[in-house]
Structure formats: structure tokens, C-alpha cells
Structure 1
Amino acid sequence: MQRIETVTIIGLGRTARAAAAYLMDKGVHVTMWGRSRDRVNEIQEHGMEITGCCMGHYCPETTDDLAQGLEHAQLVLVMTLASGHRDVARQMKGCLRPGQDILIFNGNWGAYEFYQELGNVWKSHQITIGETGSMLFLADYAEGACHVKSIKKEIGAAAVPASETSAMCGRLKQLFPQLVPEENVISTSINSSNPVMHVPVTLFNITRMENGEDYSFYGDAATKKVLGVVEKADRERCDVARAAGVNPKSCLEIINSFWPNKYDTLFEAIKNNQAYVSGKGPRTIKHRYLEEDIPFGIAPIARLGRMFGVATPCIDVLLDAFGVLLDVDAAKDAPCFSAGILQELSKD
């Protein structure tokens, strides 16, 4: 099997930087692409200081020219916010090379949108589109550096078509032994714990965010009552997954799969994990817990629920509450699902 030696990372955020450091430690040539010329210049001129699970000063090749960034890549890691997936797929369409693998960290229906936007290009170029069910790295900015707090021991991954999943995970094993094959890319997106975790905790702590307060998101913000709402939303997500033909995994099952220690309740799993309780909560309402986890997290669950005739009252309340709070249509940017595409992506 050919060794992967060149990887292009789409994105310049903290998890993209963590991934770059992780791969460079493995001897991989990394190119990072970003839209912002200022952020590209920053890394070109000063490199990246990384602490934690990866440690050192890293100087990846960096560009804002997408064609140049993709030219020699064997593997492309898409690490933008979910709101950027559609646009990135459109831009990549004319720049892709035959035989490349595309892996979206983490999915949030990214593979679905890439499938829609790339049309027949992925087939004619023999490109595999894949996505993960969660983010491999927990990272934050601290004291001028990107601090990689932890790297999960396993995360689910799937490919388009589903029959390519095992082969894709096999090709990527040298770099990402943490990838565990899932049923399909419907499963990786629907069995994501982040949206049903983040959105309720965010709703009940929205004044802390708006006031810029200092608090622990999974510490004092995630009380037993709030986690009770998380569990209600999670049960609805699992009901929708079953209706969509996917084997559901509860938040507790998913979180237990990430880490060595296993717990009997969601409350215990959160409160006994230092990687969670040490994490600071957002100090602004302009945050991905709202801008990503609503339109690309819980809103798709509600849409699929209506498609399959499954009630989602708790998730509907969360969507309505945020719509009123933020004066927006919380589901406006959510993926528009086609029964035909869902069927195509789920078959072997």
C-alpha cells in the first residue's frame, strides 16, 4: 500500500493546526490552505507554536491559492466550520487530482454536501469522499500557542460510497489508526454527540456567553438538569437515526468510545473527564456552538424527523428558542435532504 507523504489541510484554525503538528511529527509534508491572507502570512512568517500532546515550533507550507495547495496532495483534510463545506467543495471542484482522498473532520453532513457539489467529478477522478463522526483533537489557544489538550483513542469514519469505507480507513491507518469504520456517512453525521451536547448547554448559559463571563462549559454550566435536556434531545436523535436506517449510538456510548475510562451515566462521563471539565465556555454568542451545531447539527435531525415521520419536540423547542433569541431562522442553512441521495449514500 502506497505511503501517504503529502497532506493538504483546508483551514487554519486550532484543530487544523493541531492536525498539522500531529502529521508533521509523523514525517508528513503538510500544506495548509486558508482564505485569509493575513492568517496565511502569519504562519508563513512566524510558524506555529504548539503545546500539549504535540510540542514544538512548526512551519508548514501555507497558501491562499487552492489550486497550488491541492496540486501534490495525496490526502485532503477539510477542517473548516460546517458552514464552509459547501463553498469549499465548489472551489475544490476544478482543482482536484485523480486518486485523491478527501476526509472531512468532522462531518456534520460534509460528505453529503461534497457529494452534491462535486457532481460526477469524484467518480471520474476516482476520488474518495470521507468524513469522521467527531473531531480527533481537542485544542485551544493559550498564551500565544495552540494547546492540544488531548487526542481521542478512536473516532468513527465512513466513505462515499459506503463500500469504500474499509479501504479508505486502511489507506489512512498509517496516519490515523484511530479511525473506526462506520456504516456510512449518514451514520457518521447523525451519530455525532456534539450538537445535542453543545446546543442545550449553550441555551441555558446564553447570558454567560453574551456577558463574556469566565466559566467551564462542561463544569458548572452542565448541571444535572441541563444534561437531562441533552439526554431528551439525544433520544430523539436516536429515534431519527433508526428511522433513517442507521444503528443509533447514544451520547454516552459515543463519549465512552473516545476515552479509556467507561462510565454508566452521561453526567459521570462528563464530570470525570478532565479534557471536558477544563474546557472554557464561549464568551460570545458568535460561536460555532450556535453557528455550526444548530444549522448543521440539530436542524438536520429535525428535518430528517419530518421526512421520516418521527417527532422531535425537544429539538424543535431548542430550534424555536434560538430563533427567538437570535432573531434568525435557525434552520435556514441546514442541508436540504433528498431521499434519493440518502439512499445512494447509505447503500454498499
Structure 2
Amino acid sequence: MTNIVIRSDEINAAATALSMAAAAHTVVLEGQVLGPGQHTFEFLGERTTVQLASFEELRPDDPTVAVVFAEGESASAGIEQILATVTPDLFVLIGGGVTAVVEALNTVDRHGIDPAAVLHVGSFIVNGTHLGVKAEKRNVLAGFLGDNPSDELVKLAQDTFPHITIGEGAVVALSSVNAFMHLPPMLLNAMNVERGDELLFYVEGFGDSVCSLLEALDKDRIALGLALGLQLTPVPELLDMSRGPQGLPGTTLREKINSFPAYQNIKLPSSFQHRYCAHELRSTFAPLSQIAEVVGVQVPTIQAVVRLGEILLQTDLSAPARSDARTFVAHLRSQRERSHKALQQPEGIATLK
């Protein structure tokens, strides 16, 4: 099996650690939620007990996968903390959008690590907390940050995370489903956020207007993808894909979101600084807006929510995102150029260094 080292204080990371331990991997969770030892939790409706390991219990003959959660946490800090303890065969970055990808690229470059040893998984692979896992996702988009990952790394990723579908890294960075699910309800329920109302986020807070805003944002995202030469799958389809062969229950987008069992008890946050708002704006929407400026495509709805976010958070979101946007576009163009040169290279002729 695999040694898995997870770095995060996110409760969903604890749920992921417990799930991976239940799959017989040796799992270390480096964070504040759970420590080494036995833990009992509800796993898909069944009471389950698993063992989380210490670093000393990692198996030297097994490959090591490091998992860094970037949903509201720093991808760069997570990678640095992992490297202070172990040198993994594969890094797995969970969520975080464009900003997390740029942070990861910059960090591994400082350490001389090949970006092809970093896999970006677009969203959480389970729904749950340290108390229970309510659902496991399927077909979660994932992509390596560098060119031509080895067959061994691809197999290690697929064996460790059977929940994923590996595609192009740039597509994954622009397909943060969580961002499109989180931000519209935060903006359109602003008064409820300010009052701290006990609103059920995906049931009472996710109405037709929220769905309309989500779909308008998604239309901009798809247009941006086309400008970059990327074919992006609409968010509603990504949601259905990740919930298995049957997809989400219901017919309309609102019905599907309102009725999904794992969403039923999630409450509306009481602060715009919550990751559902501040993080999604900084990691996804502000960078998307700036990427659109770099490539010259109109994304009016994305630009509108970024401006609203700046008002609510009382901060400039655009200036910090410009550097990330330029780095992301430069990385994508560099990959394309290398791929084009590789296709032009005659077989059997070495490239001059």
C-alpha cells in the first residue's frame, strides 16, 4: 500500500485521512484536528475504527504520497511543512484554484522538484468531517502540473486515489467546482451572513437566483477556457460526474443542490472572511478575471463578483491576482511550446542542449 502524509487543519482533511486509513494505507495527519492513534467515525453510515500513524510508523519500502489541502490554506506553506519532515514520491494538491497552482509551481521550483511530480486534484474527494464521512466523490478532475509524468507516478496516483480522473493540469486549475458552489450563495445572502442567521447553505440559501449567478459565472469561465485553447466542462456536469453514475438527485440545478444528502446540514457562514467567500475570490475569481485581461476576453460576471468582493472584504483583490495570472498563462504557454517542439522532433534524433 502507500504511505500518505496529509498536511492540513481542515476538518475535511481529517475525513480524508480517516477514509484513506480505512483503505489500508498508512496515514499520517499533520495538523490540529486528529493525532496518531485509533479513531472511530461514521464511514458511509457504518461505525468504523482506523489507526492514524506517526511519522516513525511510515513504511520505508512503500511509496510516499504527500497531500496538501489548499482550500483556505496556503499551498506553499503546506509543501514546505511536508518537506521539513519527508521527501515524498508524489505531491497531491487538493483544491485551491489558480492561486494554489502558482504557489505550488513557485515552491517546487525553489526546491528543484519536477512539477510533473505534483498532481492537482480539483476538489475534496470526500464530504465529511473527523466525525463522519457522508459521501465519496467519483471522477474528480485531476492533472499533473508538469509535462510527461512517469508511468510510475501516474499509477501511484490512480492506485492511491481511485476517485480521480486525470486530465490536463490547466483544465483542473480552471475547474474549481467549490468556488462556483460557494461564492454565489455568500453574495446573494449577504444580509443573512451579516446577521449570522442559521440558514442551511445549500437548501435555504441556494435558490433560483443563486443558480442563475452560478451559471452566468460558469459561462464566463468556459469562454475564458476557449480563449486559452481549453475545453472546459460546465460546472453542473462536473457536479453530476463527481457523484457517481446516477449523478445528483433532482432535475434542475436547484433541485439537485437542494436535495443532495451530504449538503443538508451545512450552515451559512457568518463572515465574508470565511473561505466560502474570501478564499474563493482570492484563489479563483480574481485570478480568472486577471487571466481574462492577459488573453483579452470579456468575463463581465466574474469581474462583477470580484468588484463586489472587494467592497465586502474592503480590500484590493485584483492587484495581488495579476502576478498569479501572468505566471499561470506563461506556464501554460511554455508547456504548449514544449509539446509542440516534441511533436516536431523526428524520432531517433536527439535534441541539442
- Out of 242, 254, 261, which is 1:274 matched to? 261
Paired position in structure 1 for 2:21? 24
Check if 1:341 corresponds to 2:328: no
Check if 1:237 corresponds to 2:221: yes
Paired residue type of 1:226? V
- Out of 235, 248, 260, which is 1:251 matched to? 235
Secondary structure in 1 matching 2:120: strand
Aligned ranges 1:117-266 → 2 under 5 Å: 117-119=107-109, 121-123=111-113, 128-140=117-129, 146-164=131-149, 168-183=153-168, 185-259=169-243, 260-262=245-247, 265-266=252-253
TM superposition shift of 1:83: 4.2
- Out of 98, 101, 105, which is 2:94 matched to? 105
Distance 1:146 1:344, change over 3 A: farther
Paired position in structure 2 for 1:326? 313
Distance 1:337 1:120, change over 3 A: same
Contact 2:96 2:284 in 1 (8 A): no
Paired position in structure 1 for 2:53? 61
TM superposition shift of 1:190: 0.2
Paired residue type of 1:60? L
Q: TM-score, normalised by structure 1?
A: 0.83
TM superposition shift of 1:197: 2.4
After TM superposition, the structure 1 stretch with the greater mean CA deviation from structure 2, 165-174 or 209-218, is: 165-174
Distance 1:326 1:161, change over 3 A: closer
TM superposition shift of 1:276: 2.9
How far does the alpha carbon of each residue in 1:112-149 deviate from its partner, in whole angstroms, 9 at most, with x for none? 3211222164547x970111112111114xxxx52212
Instruction: Give the whole-Å Cα distance in 2 for the aligned partners of 1:221 and 1:55.
Output: 31
Specify every segment of 5 or more residues in structure 1 that has no aligned partner in the other structure, as ranges.
Answer: none
Contact 1:50 1:147 in 2 (8 A): yes
Secondary structure in 1 matching 2:123: coil
Q: TM-score, normalised by structure 2?
A: 0.82
TM superposition shift of 1:191: 1.6
Contact 1:152 1:258 in 2 (8 A): yes
Paired position in structure 2 for 1:288? 275
Paired position in structure 1 for 2:350? none
Secondary structure in 1 matching 2:119: strand
After TM superposition, the structure 1 stretch with the greater mean CA deviation from structure 2, 21-30 or 257-266, is: 257-266
Paired residue type of 2:42? T
How far does the alpha carbon of each residue in 1:48-99 deviate from its partner, in whole angstroms, 9 at most, with x for none? 4422427434442357xxxx899966100112435411233345556653x6
Distance 1:25 1:90, change over 3 A: closer
Distance 1:309 1:80, change over 3 A: closer
Contact 2:72 2:275 in 1 (8 A): no
Paired residue type of 2:268? G
Instruction: Give the whole-Å Cα distance in 2 for the aligned partners of 1:244 and 1:268.
Output: 33
TM superposition shift of 1:230: 1.0
Identity of paired residues, percent? 19
After TM superposition, the structure 1 stretch with the greater mean CA deviation from structure 2, 165-174 or 236-245, is: 165-174
- Out of 71, 75, 79, which is 1:81 matched to? 71
**CA-based RMSD:** 2.9
Paired residue type of 1:154? N
Secondary structure in 2 matching 1:135: coil
Secondary structure in 2 matching 1:293: helix
Contact 1:93 1:118 in 2 (8 A): no
Distance 1:178 1:187, change over 3 A: same
Instruction: Give the whole-Å Cα distance in 2 for the aligned partners of 1:186 and 1:69.
Output: 36
Paired position in structure 2 for 1:14? 11
After TM superposition, the structure 1 stretch with the greater mean CA deviation from structure 2, 253-262 or 301-310, is: 253-262
